Amino acid sequence: MAKSVHAVDYLAAPAKHAPEAVNVVFGNDAFLKRLVLSALKKNSLGSDDAGFSLAVFEGEKTVLKDVLDELSTVAMFGGGRRLVVIEDADEFVSRNRAALEAYADKPLPTGRLILEVKSWPANTHLHRIVAEKGLSVDCSTPGAAQLPKWLVAWAKQSHQAALEPGAARMMVEMVGPELGLLDQEIAKLALSVPEGTAISAKLVSERVGSWRARTAWEMIDATLAGNLRGALVQLDRLLLAGEVPLGILAQISSTLRRLAAATRLVLSAEAQRQRVTLRSALAEAGVREFVLGKSEQQLKHLGRDRGRQLYRWLLEADLALKGDSALPGRLILENLLIRLAARQTR
């Protein structure tokens, strides 16, 4: 029985792990999941017309029959093989476990299936079938001891930047085990050093966790209190100080991801007819005890509808700032702040 491959190893050499008829992407790190899903899509489709062969479903609303219909349909474009991705598929898997076991044992030759889940227990029959015949990628956050080494390799692989080991350790201590946030910090720092110069611990100490970070926290606190004017004043301060929009997004993403994770925990519990308090969900999402009260008020300000969209909004802003949009970086950030600061609509 083949073991799951960790996302760090998978991303280092995706070609060594070819997509199978059934693929599972699981774990708690949204950043790693996004990268793995992107690589799986590219390796599964590949051609210029690949978009015609891709279908994406939301697990909570998806009916198994629609998924099987997509998998059994030969596409007119994109090489003739369908790729079906089911996002947030935990509830979908629970509802259709027996049928998915049968499908994973004898999959259709016309398509590939990707299940994106948070939990993937090893004691299930479906896990065993996928381990034997499919591909599963573990997207759990690497341990604190492994993070600095990963960070050095990732800086070189993704940002063509040399990161000193001491600087990597300092970043992990200052930022925490937030891979998406660490990636955005490296992107910001890579712009600050001449070509061929390594990112040093001194530069990290100057640019990470400085007054700029405090200003960014004040900006997001004002935003989530509904004070858009105050948030825009802080945004002006950051931009005038030379902070790049991508770096600003990096500094506020950690807070917003924790609120997004807490929202998912609440919604998941409700779907299973269980009760969970906002405070306990926030604690489980990694919010520190001394800011639980403030974070609870922020989550109440957002509400469930905006809370469940936070991951998507952050991804859209990140991609827009990296070139997917022609809008100025300031305007991209302003649009995000406006979405977050507005009063709830009923």
pLDDT tens for 83-95 read: 999 999 999 999 9
pLDDT band at 237 (very low <50, low <70, confident <90, very high): confident
| Residue 109, number of CB atoms within 10 A of its CB | 9
Amino acid at 257: R
d(CA 104, CA 130): 7
Specify the pLDDT at position 259: 94
By CB atoms closer than 10 A (0-12, 13-18, 19+), residue 56 is middle
Poorest-confidence range of 71-80, 239-248, 294-303?
71-80
pLDDT band at 166 (very low <50, low <70, confident <90, very high): very high
- CATH says 5-138 is which class? alpha beta
pLDDT tens for 38-72 read: 999 988 887 545 567 889 998 888 899 999 999 98
Specify the pLDDT at position 130: 96
Give the residue extent of every domain in the chain.
5-138
Specify the pLDDT at position 71: 92
184 or 220, greater pLDDT: 220
Predicted model pTM: 0.61
- Helix 179-190 / helix 165-175 crossing angle, nearest 10 deg: 130
d(CA 165, CA 11): 21
> Residues 161, 50: contact at Cβ < 8 Å?
no
